[in-house]
Every structure is written in structure tokens, then in C-alpha cells.
Amino acid sequence: MIQLQIESRSRVEMIDITSEVCGAVRRSGIESGIAVICTPHTTAAVTINENADPDVARDLVMELNKIVPFEDGYRHLEGNSAAHLKSSLVGASETVIVENGAPVLGTWQGIYFCEFDGPRRRKVQVQVIGR
């Protein structure tokens, strides 16, 4: 397993980690298989979406904040229930095919770390399985 360090700068943001994941897959030495990208945090997530236009990530954050508002009568004492809900909605991991030593992504796709309770220092784990 290869562990990436991520530093978020905002309460909610999407950080493009595509190049870091590609580097982790390359360092693994696996030419063909799968890569699992996972964050071990209950207030963060990992997703794949368009990375050609930064407005897509901005729009995703905007809509997630509408769907799950920061304040809504939550009972969790820590005050970050919205972050836990967003993490569950988006999901803590993604799996991608690895071919020729690189993740197989569509032309416009990128891999994002989703921060929902920042700013913080975070971890993303990449496990590459194959031959």
C-alpha cells in the first residue's frame, strides 16, 4: 500500500489527486490489475469526475452543500454531521483498472479527494493489485 498525504485548505473542497495516484500506481510496479483508492476518514471521500473544467468540482461542492447543509438540527456534538453525511453519500473509495502501469481513466476523468471537514491534513491510501 502507498499512502498519500493531502492537505486541504477549505471546509469543503475537491482536490484533484490524479497525478499523485498515477505516481503511486507507477511506483507499485504493477502493469495490469486494479488500484483501490481509499481515504480512512469519516468526513472525507474519494470520487472520479470531470477534471477538464474546474467549474464541475465547484458545482459539485455547491450542490452537496445545498443537499446537506452545515446546520440542520443535527445531534452529533462534534458539529460536523454534515461532513459525515457527505462522506457517506460520495463514498470513501474508488476502484480503477490498471493497464500498462497506469490507471485507466476516460478523457475527461480525474480522481478527487473530497474534503468535507477541513482544513486538515489527510491520508489517501492506494493499493494496487495485479501482475
* Pairwise CA distance, residues 35 & 129, whole Å: 6
List per-residue pLDDT tens for the chain, 131 residues long: 999 999 999 999 999 999 999 999 999 999 999 999 999 999 999 999 999 999 999 999 999 999 999 999 999 999 999 999 999 999 999 999 999 999 999 999 999 999 999 999 999 999 999 99
Residue 61 corresponds to which amino acid? Answer: V
Burial class (CB in 10 A: 0-12, 13-18, 19+), 72: exposed
Q: Which amino acid is at 124?
A: V
Locate the domains of the chain by residue range: 2-130
The grid coordinates listed for 128 are: 494496487
CATH of region 2-130, choose from 3.40.50.2300, 2.60.120.460, 1.10.3720.10, 1.10.760.10: 2.60.120.460
Q: What's the rounded Cα separation, in Å, for the pair 124 and 44?
A: 10
Tell me if 112 sits within 8 A of 49, measured CB to CB.
Answer: yes
pTM score: 0.96
- Phi, psi (rounded to 5 degrees) for 24: -65, -40
